[in-house]
Structure 1
């Protein structure tokens, strides 16, 4: 009886969550349109290349999609990375473990600011409207990260990845990868209205007071 009630409650919240995702994303895209235009101008001014960066991520039920972000790297970022991995063993280990590089030379000046404030992720609200992401959810991972989730992979990807989530408000890249997986699994197993509201409130705090929260 308890399990049936829990499933019914979960099903009801999934509908509420979907409606909220659509309304909230539309509101953000309309309200922040002037900011979008300003960021686009600064990106074009800072370096050659496109305004947006599309990267293949793994979505719900293991279905890949193109995650949209403001471009924060130089166009020749792939070549820069290959040279770094060949020449610097320490950076190579760091990238293999986290898929990130601290003090990354591939990132433009405006890109560092966008990443620090998480403004580079604003275009992901388009992914939400395309039903590829949710406002709150697990991290949208790349294909190479799947093996790091082990047996937890299917559970984490039983729901849509989020623009924000427990990882984003708990230290981001300052966390170990094991901790990241644990946070994603925790959310997938326990997400509910109260949890989502708390994550959203903490997200605004991270954006307004970034400090050293591992956003790079």
Structure 2
């Protein structure tokens, strides 16, 4: 039932936005030549790894830039350790910053949905180093596929603490239903348009 919902919604969105994605691909490449797509290993359903797709919004040597920035800035290091995000991220390109603010970088994840790695709605996809932050709740996280959108993405996003994100993911798994998924999908539109809690 949920799988059919995911495939139908993902296919419909792709059909609508495909011409725009072509233009966005060209703009991203022109602004910073290199791979347009970024693949990152994430944990999904039943603890399985998958390659999560995004439009690349960071410089090609982003890992080195981040490491150097954190070594030079103790305050940035504290922020990174607390949230795994930075409000002023030196890796992000000028065009990438706009794309990220509007969540356009996540459109390629629709192909992850079609492949069965993700759902339209679900917990935020996490990396291996985040498992310890979930503690015993990691088993709950693994019960469903991570989502393109979800409770965290429509409820403040980066304005929320990491502990709150975990609570949101666990609460979603406990309450999962098609009605809730449809409601969260509807809430995603104004959350993205208003760029609430994004950076």
Instruction: Please tell me the TM-score bracket, short chain as reference.
Output: over 0.9
Which of 65, 73, 79 is matched with 2:58 structurally? Answer: 73
Residues 1:196 and 2:169 are matched in the alignment: no
Residues 1:114 and 2:104 are matched in the alignment: no
CA contact (8 A) 2:37 2:54 kept: yes
Residue 209 of structure 1: CA displacement?
Answer: 2.1
Residues 1:171 and 2:162 are matched in the alignment: no
Which of 82, 87, 110 is matched with 1:125 structurally? Answer: 110
What secondary structure does 2:38 align onto? strand
TM-score, normalised by the number of residues in structure 2:
0.98
Residues 1:44 and 2:43 are matched in the alignment: no
CA contact (8 A) 2:69 2:90 kept: no
TM-score, normalised by the number of residues in structure 1:
0.90
Per-residue CA deviation, residues 53-96 of structure 1 (Å, 9 max, x unaligned), is 00000001110100000000010111110101111111111111
Greater gyration radius: 1
What secondary structure does 1:57 align onto? strand
CA distance in 1, matches of 2:31, 2:51: 24
Unaligned runs of 5+ in 2: none
Which of 154, 158, 167 is matched with 2:143 structurally? Answer: 158
Aligned counterpart, 1:57: 42
What secondary structure does 1:168 align onto? helix
Runs of 4+ residues over 2 Å off in structure 1 = none
CA distance in 2, matches of 1:182, 1:111: 29
Alignment coverage as a number of residue pairs: 199
Aligned counterpart, 1:98: 83
Aligned counterpart, 2:126: 141
What secondary structure does 2:25 align onto? helix
What secondary structure does 1:69 align onto? strand
Aligned counterpart, 1:214: 197
Unaligned runs of 5+ in 1: 1-14
Per-residue CA deviation, residues 4-35 of structure 1 (Å, 9 max, x unaligned), is xxxxxxxxxxx2x2101101111111221111
Which of 187, 190, 193 is matched with 1:205 structurally? Answer: 190
